[in-house]
Amino acid sequence: MVSVYKNFLFISLLLFTLSSSVSTTHATSENLPPTFTINMNPHITVETGTNVSPSFANELKTNVRTIPSSLLENAQQIFTQSNYESFKTLLKKIMWENRYKITFGSLLCSYGILSLLLLTDHRFLHSPNRWSNWKTECSFADLCSIPEKELEKELIRAITQRHCNKKNPTDMVHPLIKFINDIDKEISRAQRYVKIAHLITRLHLITIFPTNQTKIENTQHVLDRAHFIKHIFLSWLSEYNLMQK
């Protein structure tokens, strides 16, 4: 590693010296300023208007060529099997000595993540503009009692009104795609909320998390409504495709 640093310092001093020589010549001569070019490839050539001896140029070539090989040799010396085993042993020792801190930190992070998911999912699902809250004036039982054809018409009308493509109002595909993406997202987040809530309930930890049985039941109702509304849409879509064929 020391040899690499020496090579790097050598090249830096060389570039500084040559740049100083170029600026001095430019200030005292009316001719064009000398050029200094180093091609970083195996066939290195040095073109300069300053007085650089051939031995100096050859030494520069040698030092530039030896940098990659020196780095590779040093890397191979560092990343050996013995060093890997030593690092693994040291890591195990550190983890064992700090096992209580690591355990407490892991539990605290898990609590924070689960609480954040519960809070954000509950707030998201109970927003008034969610499709699971469509026709909130009707309970789930009342919604199921409405004739399916009538529900289909009302739902498609609501979809086209809410997700109408303002740039192209005649586009009927955009509202349908937007609806299916939204309802799938609601179903996914409701399922996650219920899954997490049931898990912490089985572990008897529900009292320390920002949820309760009422919220769990409400979210389950939201999930049921979202599934039912998606079913209404898919029924209409399948019938529409058959009519088109």
Q: How many CB atoms lie within 10 A of CB 159?
A: 22
The predicted-structure confidence for 219-234, as pLDDT tens digits, reads as follows: 999 999 999 999 999 9
CB proximity list for 138: less than 8 A, separation 6 or greater:
146
Q: How far apart are CA 218 and CA 185, in angstroms?
A: 17
Specify the DSSP element, H or E, that contains 71: helix 54-78
Grade residue 42 by pLDDT with cuts at 50, 70 and 90: very low
Beta-strand relationship, 37-38 and 46-47: antiparallel
Q: From CA 64, how far away is CA 42, in angstroms rounded?
A: 9
| Structure confidence by residue, pLDDT tens digits, 189-200 | 999 999 999 999
Q: Using the Cα atoms of residue 132, residue 137, residue 142 and residue 145 in order, give the sign of their dihedral.
A: negative
In this predicted structure, the answer to whether residue 34 has a pLDDT above a threshold of 50 is: no
Name the nearest CA neighbour of 194 among 149, 158, 224: 224
